[in-house]
Chain A
């Protein structure tokens, strides 16, 4: 049996990611400890509250196992998940995992009242694909480091990016019925 795709489930909208992965015909497991993590072939870090994630993952001693995991396996982070994976987060006392060389500003569009849905254009698989971007108290990628490529932008901001085995988006593909991004992550990373 193929190894399942792990959904980091300390908190957040892990269930929506699980549904998306299962719709694509893959097994998904909720990951709350290192043992489950190590059974997975890939990992998705969902949306949620980044501060809660980081506090919990240190308390549960998940930092080292996550860093080990990412050495040879793919990780996708959406919204708060992106913040967790970033190398640098502005005005933040907590240490993210530094798995992808990007600088991130949290809640960059404002509060919930400023959350929005709009079309973003993905540039993946050598095509341009329209995708419904759900931005909820979303972060912004302020700067891309070396080796990081832009996969989508919105009004001049990079909203999806990748480097080697890490894929990040500032919006929530799991809150739409469109499986394009999950499929891309599972098959290309």
Chain B
């Protein structure tokens, strides 16, 4: 599966490792993110916390807004399309977006099928809650996997759950005999070929990032220590009291995620974090992580 095109797609994901990708809704925020040390920005019209509170249908962002952000910053610009909405993805590719997030944060366009991502030259990132979901997205051509977490909640618990599920199933596969793999692949709903890859390599064939609920430097450190290679911060920055300072602090904590002194220093004097949501207070049908399969 590693042809030239896929090398380029995974290659860009490799370049983003050890960094922070920040949600931004306009060119000024994008500049703040770049100045704070973000490795990429995710351009979207409303951050997840606002999508959640506003309700209604959430769609791909206005291309004009994305173009303005592209003009303002030199780091990669990502954007989201709805699950299964390959025409939105085609538009994002046409305007030169660097990475497309087929995202559960937007209202799904197809409740059965995800996009066949091999049809595109632009790389895709997709969310997952567990290893089976991650491998299904990779089978469709995703070049980067992230946890879904629960976007816009400011609560890390779901991202932790999803990262632990992925890592724990990876370890489980590594202890299995070859004769057990077919049945486990069937249970996961994933291809045997990818399950074998995981057994042999002890990791996903594409970079594995964390997203959904990261609000503090310690949250970023936690996800990195649990095995994430980069963190996405959505509402956590621009819903906080002082986005600029918080953005820098989360970058610093991600770089030095395994150095508690550095994370402690980064956590000082940040002002208020975004207000968080108890996951149980969110009605089941409003959980973004249940979109897609």
A51-B74, A113-B121, A117-B4 given; A15·B11 CB < 8 A: no
Interface bracket on B = 35 or more
Query: Are A112 and B98 CB-contacts (below 8 A) given A48-B39, A49-B19?
Result: yes
> Chain A's nearest CB lies how many Å from the CB of B251?
7
Please give, as numbers and ranges, the residues of chain B lying within 8 Å of A172 by CB-CB distance: 11
Total A-B pairs, Cβ < 8 A: 106
A106 to chain B: which residues have CB within 8 Å? 74
Stretch binding the partner chain, chosen from A20-28, A52-60, A161-169 = A52-60
CB atoms of A134 and B75 under 8 A apart: no
Size class of the A contact interface (CB-based, 8 Å) = 20 to 34
Q: Which of B4, B12, B39 contacts A52 (CB 8 A)?
A: B39
Digit string of A133-144 for contact with B (CB within 8 Å is 1, else 0)?
A: 010110000000
What residues of A have a CB within 8 angstroms of the CB of B15 in the complex? 12-13, 47-49, 79-80, 136-137
Contact B98 A49 (CB under 8 A): no
Which residues between 22 and 44 of chain B lie within 8 Å of chain A, taking CB atoms? 34-40
A49 with B17: CB separation less than 8 A: no
* Cα distance A9–B254 in the bound complex, in angstroms: 12
Instruction: Tell me how far the C-beta of B5 lies from the nearest C-beta in chain A, rounded to whole angstroms.
Output: 8
Residue of A with least CB distance to B93: A113
Interface of A is mostly: loop
Determine the chain B residues whose CB is within 8 A of the CB of A60 once the complex forms: 255
Contact check, A49 vs B7: say whether CB atoms are below 8 A apart. no
The answer to the question of A65 belonging to the interface, with a C-beta cut-off of 8 Å to chain B, is no
CA distance A112 to B9 in the complex (A): 8
Contact assessment for A49 and B75 in the assembled complex, using a CB-CB cutoff below 8 Å: yes
The chain B residues found within 8 Å of chain A, CB to CB, are: 4, 7-8, 11-12, 14-19, 34-40, 70, 74-76, 93, 96-99, 121-123, 248, 251-252, 255-256
Residues of chain A at the chain B interface (Cβ within 8 Å): 9-16, 32, 47-49, 51-52, 55-56, 59-60, 79-80, 106-107, 110-113, 115-117, 134, 136-137, 172, 175
Which 4 A/B pairs are nearest by Cβ-Cβ distance? A13-B14, A112-B98, A117-B4, A111-B96
